[in-house]
Structure 1
């Protein structure tokens, strides 16, 4: 239930290009979410990509710390806030979550904002 496997990560270059060219997006500061309904059948309801700007965070240590916090918050909240709604509507998603914040905040802030982002995403899918 609280896992984050390789199959859940978005690695396919064609899918990533398609997501950024044809997908929808919204802002939920300090995150920007881009999403697209998946054309092909996937093992998991969502394939997700986490990005942090190299321009804003020069040191890899900082980028990795931010991505680690994003992944952990997503991993713990995806089932209740996103997967259940997607399974009910029989949809599958390709999702990108980009960090656009200016400073590295504590984990509890990341978790609160990821929860808000997942709720907003499930509302957009329902509409």
Structure 2
């Protein structure tokens, strides 16, 4: 599977985002807060849809928020196939995920890579149980 992050993998539907935050489950692996919602009916082109966000309250300048989001997308893109997609394919479910950055300072790529790895492993464990 290609290591890409296409438009079909991004969560854009306002209805799905509202249902995700209204009835989804969540956990925190610092510096990420993850909200996820499993859907039994397979619909849409991608089994996992993700939204990535950084708080404007913590990072006032847009270029800081954009850099963190860019790093988060990259570490997610590099690890999603091995850690998340295999588990979702086994269960034949649709998964909506919101990954929020809740840290107070900008972290470097290597640290974010390790934290995203822990986050995706915990998410895979949560959906399998």
- Taking structure 2 as the reference length, what is the TM-score of the superposition? 0.96
Q: CA deviation at 1:42?
A: 2.1
In structure 1, stretches of 5+ residues that fail to align are none
Q: What are the equivalent positions in structure 2 for 1:42-121 lying under 5 Å apart?
A: 42-121=44-123
Q: Which residue of 2 aligns with 1:124?
A: 126
Q: What RMSD, in angstroms, separates the aligned Cα atoms of the two structures?
A: 0.9
Q: Which residue of 2 aligns with 1:8?
A: 9
Q: Which residue of 1 aligns with 2:22?
A: 21
In structure 2, stretches of 5+ residues that fail to align are none
Cα separation, 2, equivalents of 1:42 and 1:28: 28
Cα separation, 1, equivalents of 2:42 and 2:84: 19
- Taking structure 1 as the reference length, what is the TM-score of the superposition? 0.97
> 1:74 is paired with a residue of what secondary structure?
helix
Q: 1:82-114: per-residue Cα shift (whole Å, max 9, x none)?
A: 001110111110000000001001101111001
| CA distance 1:30–1:65, shift in 2 (3 Å) | same
